[in-house]
Amino acid sequence: MNRIFIKDTFLAITIFFLMISFPSCKKETIMLPPDLGEKYFPIKQGSWISYKVDSIVWNNFYTPVKIDTFSFYLKMKIDSQYTDNEGRTIYYYRKYYSLTNSNWQLSKNYSINKTAQRIETFEENYTYIKMVFPVKNSTIWDMNAFNIFDKTESYFQNYDVSKTYNGEFFDSCAVVNHQNLETLISKNYHEEVYGKNIGLLYKKLIKIEKAINGTWNNGVSCTYSIVGRGQD
């Protein structure tokens, strides 16, 4: 047998066994965690958002119906945190009031509990489910599941949509509809809009009674819209 042939054969066999003795190098696929939408309600100690609040009040005690308008400012700040008796991390959510967007006066203390499934707020001695995860259009929940008020069918009307408030553009927002019920004698509406990595941007509340002719004659309409934010 040709000596050169034997040498080439031995070399080929050696290379073959070297190749199969080492694992092949494959490009690893990095699996990113699913986006559940938690960034629509970020919780960072010291962060705050201020809002301009415009309200209209109808009062049918007067004839004709008296209509008043009011404007003021609110600042919502995530303050200190504590661990409750169930081992959960709870954040104090402080509300400040001002007529001029300065010289803030403490108005009320709320609290927030953020879990892997939902956002719970404790306001005026009542617990509300403001948002659930994941954020998607098919999700429906009862905002009042943990309080005494009527059941709601809260849902995400839309998400990852752009909005503009007071001249500022927000490129990724989730729209939550908590209530939209209108009859011949009343209208109840509650909408909230959240910005990714920011939090609540806008809120609209309507609770009104109607007269026989369909005009609004007793109740309130209130709108919150973001005017500032920061970190202390």
- Tell me the pLDDT tens digit for each residue of 23-35: 544 556 565 567 7
Residues 216-229: what's their mean pLDDT? 96
The whole domain housing 88 covers 38-231
Residue 20 lies in a domain: no
Return the pLDDT at 6: 46
- Tell me the pLDDT tens digit for each residue of 38-56: 999 999 999 999 999 999 9
Q: What is the mean pLDDT of the chain?
A: 88
**213 band by pLDDT with thresholds 50, 70 and 90:** confident
Return the pLDDT at 22: 47
Residue 178 lies in a domain: yes
Higher pLDDT: 29 or 106? It is: 106
Cβ atoms of 130 and 115 closer than 8 Å: no
Sign of dihedral through CA atoms 96, 84, 174, 195?
positive
Residue 185 lies in a domain: yes
- Tell me the pLDDT tens digit for each residue of 179-208: 999 999 999 999 999 999 999 999 999 999
Residue 21 lies in a domain: no
| This prediction's pTM | 0.84
DSSP annotation of 28 reads: P
Count the domains in the chain.
1
CB-based contacts of 62: which residues, under 8 Å, 6+ apart?
none
Residue 22 lies in a domain: no
Residue 5 lies in a domain: no
Residue 15 lies in a domain: no
Q: 121: domain CATH number? A: 2.40.360
Residue 29 lies in a domain: no
Q: Report whether pLDDT(4) > 60.
A: no
Torsion of CA 73, 127, 140, 153, to 10 degrees: -80
